[in-house]
Amino acid sequence: MSARTPNNIPASGFPLPYTILAIQPDDLTSLQDASYTLAHYGHGEKPEVRSGLDLEAIGGLAAAHAPGSLLAAYGPEDHLTERLWRIAAGIDAVVLDVRLLARILLPGLRDYERATVERYIDWGSEETEYVAAGPEETVDNVAEPAETAAEADDTGPVESAAGTEDALKTAMLCRSLLDLLASQDPDTMETLILLAEGTGTGLERLLARMTARTARTASRGDTGSRGDHSARSGERPPIAHTALGPPTIGDGSCDTAEADGDLDPMDTEELARLFETGGLFESSMEGYEQRPQQVSMVRSVAGAFNEGEVLLVEAGTGTGKSLSYLTPALIWAVRNDQRVVVSTNTRNLQEQLFYKDLPFLLENLGLDFRATLLKGRSNYLCLDRWQQVTRRPADHLTAEEREAAIPLAVWARETKTGDISEHAGFNRSAGAGLWDKINGEGTACPRCVLKEACFVNRVRRAAMASHVVIINHALLFADLQSDHAVLSRYSHLIIDEAHNLERAAVQHLTLEVGGWRMRRVLGRMHAPEWGGTGVLAGLDRLAKKAADNLDWKAPLEAGTRMAIDRITEVNRRIEDFFRIASDEAFGQSDDGSARRTKLRYRAEDEYAGILRSSARVLIEGLAGLRESLGLLHATLDQVHDSWLDDRESRGNAIVAAMDFCTAMEEALFVLTEANEGERVYWVEATRSQPLSCVLTAAPLRVADRLHDDLFRPLRTAVLTSATLTVGDRFDYQLERLGLDRIDPRRLQVRGIGSPFDYADQVLVCVPAAFPTPRSDAFQDAVSRLILDLVVSTLRSTLVLFTSYTQLNRTFQDIEPDLAEHGVAVLAQGTSGPRSALLDRFRRSDTAVLLGTDSFWEGVDVPGKALEMVILVKLPFAVPTEPLVQAQVERLEDAGRNSFFEYQVPEAVIKFRQGFGRLIRSTRDYGVVTVLDQRVVGTAYGRLFLESLPAGSEIYPDADGLVEGVTYWFRAREKRRVERGSFIT
């Protein structure tokens, strides 16, 4: 029997220290009385496969090869891992997750599903013979697998084809990846060994065994060894980073950031012809169809660049907005040696522009340009911090953090960008504590010794010389707040997803202080866990190791001890302050049993007075810590280089902590004085979790700042989105973004429709007789209608809520019944993270996805994977939210109608975004159902339906709606068959 073998993993020549026993559950859903298929792969012989084994039999086979059995599984469930470790405990065996090896050694993969890893390794066409052995064979005859090959091929039992294939692939993947592990350079191996030490993982034991084997081979004079990893002193030399350039596209160079001198305008009509029938894009893009809306937008954008205008353009879904603004922007930038900054709200759109649209334009436009993708500092690995934690992991990382860091060891040496988003094998959410210690945010960069190699500096230098720089809204405002220290001055700006611009500005200009964040940042200096981690713990150990006669020993020991004592005291004061803030907030809450509360406060409130009093104690503690860190920093200069070869790195970390103390002192003063009239202040607290408490101060109005600092200095600004208008008017966005103050001669607004035939592609429906959202019967009615509609149509459905409470209740109501009909129900916050939910939803034959706030926009699921959208309630902001309350008060105090001038416009824009989740191409069709009676029963509600590009159908009741929607889908299917059209 045979299976394919990998053909692109280098053979290391490194003797395998283990016999691989790869285990595959025969039934992934069974936890009790499970059977397994096992592929046994030893030192070069044919792999041997056994099916129908229980764990006791596997234990016997593992014991036969002990010491040296490696029990391998691919991404095993916790219960299987636990059982395998029980087998391994008494026989010097190791349990290894092969998926972890892939995450470590193949850091560039899209994901780490086994099929993805197999495709990367490229099994090729070679076939490997393997032996099929029966489960009834005894341990005694396992020792000579090659001798039983002929018999097994002729007389072996019938195997489970899927189990055999999966077990064999796991064994072969494991062997290939072990070869790749053994081929790593000595520095990477040393990093892996140091990080794995003390984690108690199978990888730690595997590396130790490989190290011992290498040492024995080296002692025999074998020149084929991979290097001696056994001589360890608990440290390793500084890394020699080999990464190349930043993320750029194209080889051109832009020398002028700001507009100056005469400018060369574009030929608008020549540019438009690129998009017309017979133009460049039709010949370059398969299935291209001319869209008049896209041509219209291209002309508008080109006109804005030529005339130096500020353009707001609402372009419907399907217009092709990105190419409509990127094409004229690139031509303008190259012709005039100008830089154009493009800002998006979401990472997905950022990456679409950079990895899809710009490469297409580079290939087809014939322009010599350069484009750079630039993100915020927290997205990039800090080489200085990484060097610190990998040289002395025990000084900086807990065991859990060391384990989380292991998948970064190879990536950190190979990455060209340092952008953590490129490494799908690192779970940034689960590894948040680790990433906080090694990313580029909050570091003392001006004093860094690795400034030239720094990922952030390199990508910023590339951005300075680029014609187009792709950023997000958060970085746009970070640059604005730093007086353009990030991007330097620029004169041309394109803002996509512009309906989120005000929200992004508010978020960035909001001041927050939370207990966990303060603890986490100070933990970089010292945390008591695991015998002490952090910079101070390392210095303390250094001082204690030094000889008594060294003149710097006593000052360093005393200075370190004082700083540790001060941090310990500050941590105590942090907990005291946030406990008081939390307890007092709950004391003033209307709901005494609530687990969470949010309380708005003003300077004159009793609560603010209590905060001020307790904050003084914390501020004094921070000032004392800052002083002691300053003294310690000065003491480092006395330590000889032979004892402190990373003086600059440790010193920079201390300075960064001092800067953080200063920032927290200032923030606490602002947040507790609470006397700035243009801010709103509130506290959020979780019962019994004082460190989860967060104090917040948000700006009430950002229009002035946007006009004065962002738009007024620009020569050209283009703002676009599919949802900028309310009632076909731009007035709301113009006022909120400060654009109503732009010279009317420079301000242009354009509404461009969608190329989609919404009248034909979409049915918008509402049940006339339905409980109102305030009714006690509303929840049951919602669950029943969703259930009936999905069962009747069997169409994949996105249900959008405005609260987690209702979402969770609906999930409980409908999940059991829909499961009986083979329909998967996925719920935000219950069924996994957002990206995983969307992936599962896309792959499911029929599924229901329940989502709240973040799912109302940015969800792109074309085709049959999404054919119904249900909008449960109109998406009004929660009126008790402090920022909403303050906005309402500000408008009412000015004699304006806050409901129609703020709350309704915000809800209409979000409602339109929710509607836009359904139709993503000209071939899509489906139904949008609105369950909120206000759209037909109130004057303001009708504004919502009128804002949609499709008409609506009002059904008498829920039963009539289900019947009507079912008929509509059947009619669509009949038309599709009659036309011979196969819509995917």
Residues 6+ apart with CB under 8 A from 634: none
Between 830 and 969, the higher pLDDT residue: 969
Q: Which of 167-181, 447-461, 662-676 has the lowest mean pLDDT?
A: 447-461
pLDDT beyond 90 at 4? no
Of 461-475, 639-653, 900-914, give the lowest mean pLDDT range: 639-653
Banded model confidence at residue 977, pLDDT cuts 50, 70, 90: confident
pLDDT surpasses 90 at 578: yes
How far is Cα 430 from Cα 447, in angstroms, rounded to an integer? 31
Q: What is the pLDDT of residue 464?
A: 92
Amino acid at 13: G
φ/ψ of residue 64, rounded to 5: -65, -25
Report the alpha-carbon distance of residue 413 to residue 394 in Å, rounded.
Answer: 21
Amino acid (1-letter code) at residue 907 = A
Per-residue pLDDT band at 444 (split at 50, 70, 90) = low
Check residue 246 and give its pLDDT: 61
Q: Are 425 and 107 in contact (CB under 8 A)?
A: yes
Local structure of residue 231 (DSSP, 8 states): -
**Is the bond preceding residue 145 a cis peptide, omega within 30 degrees?**
no
pLDDT above 80: residue 976: no
Average of per-residue pLDDT values in the chain: 86
Q: Report whether pLDDT(768) > 70.
A: yes
The structure tokens listed for 685 are 């607290």
Please tell me what DSSP assigns to residue 856: G
Q: What is the mean pLDDT of residues 559-571?
A: 96
Dist. CA 679–CA 429, nearest whole Å: 31
Q: What confidence category does residue 364 fall into, taking pLDDT thresholds of 50, 70 and 90?
A: very high
What the block records as the tokens of 76 is 């095993």
Q: 19-33, 50-64, 339-353, 857-871: lowest mean pLDDT where?
A: 19-33
Whether 2-183 shares its CATH topology with 758-979 is answered no
Strands of 797-800's sheet in order across:
824-827, 847-851, 797-800, 868-871, 926-930, 762-769, 952-957
Residue-level pLDDT at 980: 62
The pLDDT tens digits for 527-559 are 887 678 899 999 999 999 999 889 999 999 999
Q: For residue 720, give the nearest of 424, 433, 496, 939 by alpha carbon.
A: 496
DSSP annotation of 238:
P
User: Tens of pLDDT along 375-394?
Assistant: 999 999 999 899 989 988 98
248-249 β-sheet, strand order: 248-249, 371-373, 468-472, 340-344, 492-495, 716-721, 310-315, 747-752
> In one letter, which amino acid is 269?
E
Other C-beta atoms closer than 10 Å to the C-beta of 979 total 9
Q: How far apart are CA 225 and CA 37, in angstroms?
A: 34
**Which pLDDT score is estimated for 579?**
97
d(CA 884, CA 101): 49
Contact 205, 70 (CB under 8 A): no
User: In the predicted model, what is the mean pLDDT of residues 176-182?
Assistant: 90
Nearest to 622 by CA among 557, 572, 587: 572
Whether the CB-CB separation of 200 and 399 falls below 8 Å is answered with yes
Q: Is the pLDDT of residue 982 over 60?
A: no
**What DSSP string runs through 627-667?**
HHHHHHHHHGGGS-TTT-TTHHHHHHHHHHHHHHHHHHHHH
Residue 769: the pLDDT is 94
Torsion 482-484-487-488 (CA) sign: negative
DSSP code, position 419: B
The candidate with the shortest Cα–Cα distance to 929, out of 967, 872, 874, 970, is 872
- Among residues of the chain, what percentage have pLDDT more than 90? 60
Instruction: Please give the pLDDT value at position 151.
Output: 38
What does the alpha-carbon distance between residue 751 and residue 720 come to, in Å, rounded to a whole number?
Answer: 10
How confident is the model at residue 918, as a pLDDT? Answer: 95
Residues facing residue 133 across a β-bridge: 50
Position 508 pLDDT exceeds 60: yes
Work out the pLDDT band at 108, boundaries 50, 70, 90. confident
Secondary structure (DSSP) of 583-600: HHHHHT-S-TT-SEEEEE
- 235 pLDDT above the threshold of 80: no
pLDDT over 60 at 313, yes or no: yes
Reduced 3-state DSSP string for 428-457: CCCCHHHHHHHECCCCCHHHCCCCCCCHHH
pLDDT digits (tens, 9 = 90+) for 864-880: 999 999 999 999 999 99
Q: Confidence class of residue 973 from pLDDT cuts 50, 70 and 90?
A: confident
Q: Which residues make Cβ contacts (< 8 Å) with residue 39, sequence separation at least 6?
A: 20, 21, 22, 24, 47, 48, 49, 130, 164, 167, 168, 170, 171
Collapsed DSSP state (helix, strand, coil) of residue 245: coil
Sign of CA dihedral 976, 981, 983, 984: positive
Report the range of poorest mean pLDDT among 17-21, 297-301, 454-458, 955-959: 17-21
Indicate the angle between helix axes 553-587 and 515-523, nearest 10 degrees.
170
Distance CA 103, CA 114 (A): 11
Closest CA to 574 of 513, 627, 511: 513
- pLDDT tens by residue, 579-610: 999 999 999 877 767 889 999 999 999 999 99
CATH no., domain 2-183: 3.30.420
Cα 404 vs. chain centroid, distance in angstroms? 16
Q: What is the pLDDT of residues 628-646, one digit of tens each?
A: 999 999 999 899 888 888 8
- Whether 155 shows a pLDDT value over 90: the answer reads no
Share of the chain above pLDDT 70, in %: 87
- Residue 6 pLDDT > 50, yes or no? no
Does residue 16 have a pLDDT over 60?
no
Choose among 127, 177, 169: nearest CA to 12. Answer: 177
Average pLDDT over residues 520-525: 92
**Would you tell me how many other CB atoms lie within 10 Å of the CB of residue 694?**
21
At the topology level, CATH places domain 758-979 in: Rossmann fold (3.40.50)
Q: Where are the domains of the chain?
A: 2-183, 259-370+474-504+704-752, 517-590+603-666, 758-979
Bridge partners of 689, per DSSP, are 686
On the CB side of 797, CA atoms within 13 Å amount to 29
pLDDT reading at 526 higher than 80: yes
Confidence of residue 55 (pLDDT cuts 50, 70, 90): confident
Q: Compare 150 and 934 and report the one with higher pLDDT.
A: 934
Residue 259 has pLDDT above 70, yes or no: no
pLDDT above 70 (res 191): yes
| pLDDT band of 3, cuts 50, 70, 90 | very low
- Residue 602 in tokens: 């003003």
Q: Report residue 121 as tokens.
A: 């390794």
**943 confidence band (pLDDT: 50, 70, 90):** very high
Q: Which amino acid is at 353?
A: L
Tokens of 317: 């879904």
Question: What pLDDT is stored for residue 40 in this prediction?
Answer: 78
CATH number of 259-370+474-504+704-752: 3.40.50.300
CA gap 452, 82 in Å, rounded: 46
